[in-house]
């Protein structure tokens, strides 16, 4: 079944459409990937996910976002390619480069007690952002595209990206974890809430930060 779905996807031009909130595939727990695809099909799927993520543009893409209920994601943050974002903002938010990587059957656990809250968006909730509190550091467990074990600790924005994409594989959208009173359009965030932290947004919109 997965192979048939992937064949259908591979027959479509890139970048692939990104599934939007309201589609059941985003609310179902994805099943583990158990090597059902041929080497060529798997490689083509990963390449297509990379292209789709970059073209969006985004810093992560989970398989359910292209209609596949399987536990595969790609992540990448070219943090040095954010023109106009002050260095102080990058530092405060812990935004550092996250090299391109493929995550197969990923999971994460909290590492430490610190929590960070920032505006967060999603390619599957187009046009909107909201403040989400997440663990500042996590330990990531997964396999890469070669089957090698991934076991590392991440902090700051790379940790947030991994949490966000792994959540997709459990049928969780960032809105499920968000301060709903913070919900803002991309335009509103850019115009009003571009400060390094969401403290002013919290005061003005009436929500609490951890």
Is 186 labelled a binding residue?
no
Question: How far does Cα 123 stand from its chain's mean position?
Answer: 8
Determine the Cα–Cα distance for residues 120 and 88; give it in Å rounded to an integer: 18
Give the chain's end-to-end CA distance (angstroms, integer). Answer: 44
Contact 147, 87 (CB under 8 A): no
Is 102 labelled a binding residue?
no
| Secondary structure element (H or E) that encloses residue 161, with its range | helix 156-168
Is 164 labelled a binding residue?
yes
Neighbours of 111 (CB within 10 A): 16
Computed over its alpha carbons, how large is the radius of gyration of the chain?
17
Choice among 76, 165, 179, 204 that is catalytic = 165
State yes or no: is 145 an active-site residue: no
Instruction: Could you list the residues known to form a binding site, using ranges.
Output: 122, 164, 168
Residues with a catalytic annotation lie at 165
């Amino acid at each position: 079944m997965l192979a048939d779905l992937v064949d259908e996807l591979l027959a479509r031009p890139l970048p692939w459409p990104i599934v939007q909130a309201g589609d059941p595939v985003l609310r179902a727990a994805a099943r583990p990937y158990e090597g059902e695809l041929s080497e060529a099909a798997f490689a083509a799927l990963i390449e297509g996910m990379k292209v789709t993520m970059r073209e969006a543009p985004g810093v992560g893409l989970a398989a359910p976002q292209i209609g596949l209920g399987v536990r595969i994601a790609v992540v990448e943050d070219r943090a040095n390619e954010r023109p106009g974002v002050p260095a102080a903002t990058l530092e405060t938010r812990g935004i550092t480069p996250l090299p391109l990587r493929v995550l197969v059957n990923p999971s994460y656990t909290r590492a430490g007690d610190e929590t960070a809250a920032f505006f967060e968006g999603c390619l599957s909730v187009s046009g909107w952002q909201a403040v989400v509190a997440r663990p500042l550091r996590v330990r990531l467990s997964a396999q890469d595209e070669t089957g090698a074990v991934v076991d590392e600790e991440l902090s700051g924005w790379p940790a947030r990206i991994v949490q966000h994409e792994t959540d997709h594989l459990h049928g969780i959208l960032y809105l499920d974890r968000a301060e709903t009173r913070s919900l803002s359009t991309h335009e509103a965030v850019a115009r009003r809430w571009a400060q390094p932290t969401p403290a002013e947004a919290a005061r003005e919109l009436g929500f609490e930060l951890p």
